Amino acid sequence: MANGNGEPAVTYMKYGELNRYTDVYLTQQAFTGLQEQALNQMINIGGMMEFTMKDRDLKKVPVEKFQAIAQEAYKDLIVHQTLEGISTELSQAYGDLLKSM
């Protein structure tokens, strides 16, 4: 982020503003990392389901395979719930930052 003179805008921020900006930026990075993790988790679950359902006779599929899929789906659910919480915090933080400028 730069001002009209091409200088970094953080040069003109007060210490408190810079801390809030840094916190929001770091939270955004965490959010992006979790989004990537969620996508990879969904791809993993999809692959597991595709491989499991390939036979089409679900009675032949060992219970352990379904348990593994359920466990991965539960992990994905936790990641998505975390993303929801972080996105709410980010939205509020962005709003607060914009109001303070």
User: Is a pLDDT exceeding 80 seen at residue 31?
Assistant: yes
Amino acid 2: pLDDT: 47
List, in order, residues 6 or more apart from 17 with CB less than 8 Å away.
Answer: 97, 100
Residue 53 has pLDDT above 70, yes or no: yes
Pick the residue with more confidence: 97 or 22?
A: 22
Q: How many other CB atoms are there within 10 angstroms of residue 26's CB atom?
A: 10
What do you get for the CA distance between the two ends of the chain, in Å? 14
Q: How far is CA 90 from CA 23, 83, 86, in A?
A: 10, 10, 6
Segment 85-91 shows an average pLDDT of 84
**Residue 9 — very low, low, confident or very high, per pLDDT cuts 50/70/90?**
low
Computed over every residue of the chain, the mean pLDDT equals 79
Whole-number Å distance between alpha carbons of 21 and 45 = 36
Taking the whole predicted model, whether its pTM rises above 0.85 is answered as: no
